[in-house]
Amino acid sequence: MKSISLFLVVFSLISCKPKVKSEKMNTKIVIAHRGASGYLPEHTMEAKAMAYAMNVNFIEQDLVLSKDDVPIVIHDIYLDDVTDVATKFANRKRNDNRYYVIDFTYDELQTLKVTERFNPKTGEQFYPNRFPKGKGNFKLHSFAEEIELIQGLNKSTGKNIGIYPEIKEPKFHQKEGKNLTEIVLKTLYDYGYKTKKDNCILQCFDTKELERIRKDLKSELFLVQLIEFEEEAKNLQHFATYADGIGPWYKQILDKKVDGEWKFTTLVSDAHQFNLKVHPYTLRADQLDDFTIFEEMMETFLIAANVDGVFTDFPDLVVNFLKEK
């Protein structure tokens, strides 16, 4: 009798195990980094719609203000490495020879043609095997326009895909006399993103600004502290006083390879101890660095290092990888 019940206990433990594991896998999120940017020019509506169709969990928006205070979805405060601004508005560059989003109105920005990322000095395409530079007819758009695309698709498909906006360079905006954060928070609020339940994750590299968003501006959104420099990772305990997660560069998670196996820094386990989710950036199938194939890169971070989600330019590959696991 005793051995039978022991057998049952052991059996139920064994049979429970895979279920627990698969539930844990399902909680890992795929963030479309600048949309499906491995396939279409980054931050275009087309790249966002494609990412949506790939069944990601979140689609990312980088946000910079226009001259007339419209939050524009674009990765940099500059225009000249993803648009034809230098030919259309040749005399509007600043002394550093760069063209700034903040110097153009929304209507002016609408006249620009967006293209695959390139080096403005040489004209050379940044990722040579991606969408051909100069081809197609892509435009810039506002944050509100992209939210309407995603919310519209959520309605027409019955899915619930989230947004993952980033406040870009708040100090630069302040120096220019603008308050990007307040405008972004109001846009989010107007579109129904108010609390952690509302399928929005707000991210920022600036630690002071993200702390201000929680403590002074009293935002109840899910906040992720992006980490650029390794030494910042020592401040996890402080980050946990205002943030819900961290977004480190993936190399901050890797320690070294021993006998063909990756050893990790304590960043992920330390963050988990402080109840912080970990979403490293950026997994790219055409920029493998320390890895031989993309599967190895996904396996290393999502399984071995046990992160909670990843930013990727190739969301279909990560969605499929997690589905098969």
| Cβ distance to Ca ion smaller for residue 39 or 303 | 39
- Answer yes or no: are the C-beta atoms of 204 and 210 closer than 8 Å: yes
Binding flag, residue 166, Ca ion (CB under 5 A): yes
- Asked if 62 and 43 touch (Cβ cutoff 8 Å), the reply is yes
SS3 (DSSP) at 68: coil
- Clarify whether 272 is annotated catalytic: no
The active-site residue, picked from 43, 75, 141, 279, is 75
Chain centroid to CA 290 = 21
If binding means CB under 5 A, how many residues of this protein chain bind Ca ion?
2
Output the smallest distance, CB 177 to Ca ion, in A: 24
At its nearest, how many Å lie between Ca ion and the CB of residue 31?
9
For residues 87, 88, 92, 95, the Cα torsion angle rounded to the nearest 10 degrees is -10
Residue closer to Ca ion by CB (options 62, 81) is 62
- Which segment (57-65, 84-92, 109-117, 254-262) binds Ca ion by CB under 5 A? 57-65
Tokens of 101: 């989003």
Stretch that binds Ca ion, among 7-15, 162-170, 269-277, 297-305 (CB under 5 A): 162-170
Minimum Å gap between C-beta 172 and Ca ion is 15
308 binds Ca ion (CB under 5 A): no
8-state DSSP, 116? S
CA distance 49 to 53: 6
How many angstroms separate the CA atoms of 183 and 32, rounded? Answer: 23
**What is the distance between the alpha carbons of residues 125 and 144, in angstroms, rounded to a whole number?**
29
From candidates 42, 46, 62, 316, binder to Ca ion by CB under 5 A: 62
- Closest distance between Ca ion and the C-beta of residue 156, in Å? 27
Give the interface with Ca ion as residue ranges (CB under 5 A).
Answer: 62, 166
Which residues are the active-site residues? 33, 75
